[in-house]
Amino acid sequence: MSDTIDVDGKQLAVDEEGYLSNLNDWVPGVANVMAAQDNLELTDEHWDIINFLREYYEEYQIAPAVRVLTKAVGKKLGKEKGNSKYLYSLFPYGPAKQACRFAGLPKPTGCV
């Protein structure tokens, strides 16, 4: 039996670590439901990162490791955001792991 989460009345399958099983199931509501599970409220700053990750995946077909994410965010969204302190303040469980989960991506390559 795999787990599911309820998003807008739909049951979506997730794996044992809470990542969406099917990338194509993603809708923005997924991020909101997952954030609520982690007791987080998503702000525009969170969405910047989530959308960035989805674009990165679309282009490169992988979820970036945290150090690559940090560098790439700095380049795209400005140096003051391209550091792990900022990213951890948004995503306390780890920017790559947690934000990728909200974005419906697989667990980042290189994360253990």
Partner 1 sequence: MSEVVKKFLYLNRKAPYGTIYAWEALEVVLIGAAFDQDVSVMFIDDGVYQLTKGQDTKGIGMKNFSPTYRTLGDYEVKKIYVDQASLEARGLTQDDLVEVAWEDFETEEEIENIVEVIDSARVSALMDESDVIFSF
- In the complex with partner 1, which residue's Cβ is closer, 82 or 94? 82
* Token pair in block for residue 87: 């990213």
Q: How far is the CB of 97 from partner 1 (least distance, A)?
A: 14
By CB under 8 A, what part of segment 34-63 binds partner 1? Answer: 59-62
DSSP 48-78: HHHHHHHHHHHHHSSPPPHHHHHHHHHHHH-
Residues 91, 16: Cα–Cα separation, whole Å = 20
- In the complex with partner 1, which residue's Cβ is closer, 10 or 67? 67
What letter would DSSP give residue 14? E
Q: Among 1, 28, 37, which residue's Cα sits nearest to residue 16?
A: 1
Task: For residue 92, state whether it binds partner 1 (rule: CB under 8 A).
Answer: no
The span of 2-10, 25-33, 68-76, 95-103 binding partner 1 (CB under 8 A) equals 68-76
User: Cα-flanking dihedrals φ and ψ of residue 20, to 5°?
Assistant: -60, 130
Among 3, 15, 36, 75, binds partner 1 (CB under 8 A): 75
What letter would DSSP give residue 2? -
Among 4, 43, 65, 76, binds partner 1 (CB under 8 A): 65
Q: Count residues contacting partner 1 (CB under 8 A)?
A: 15
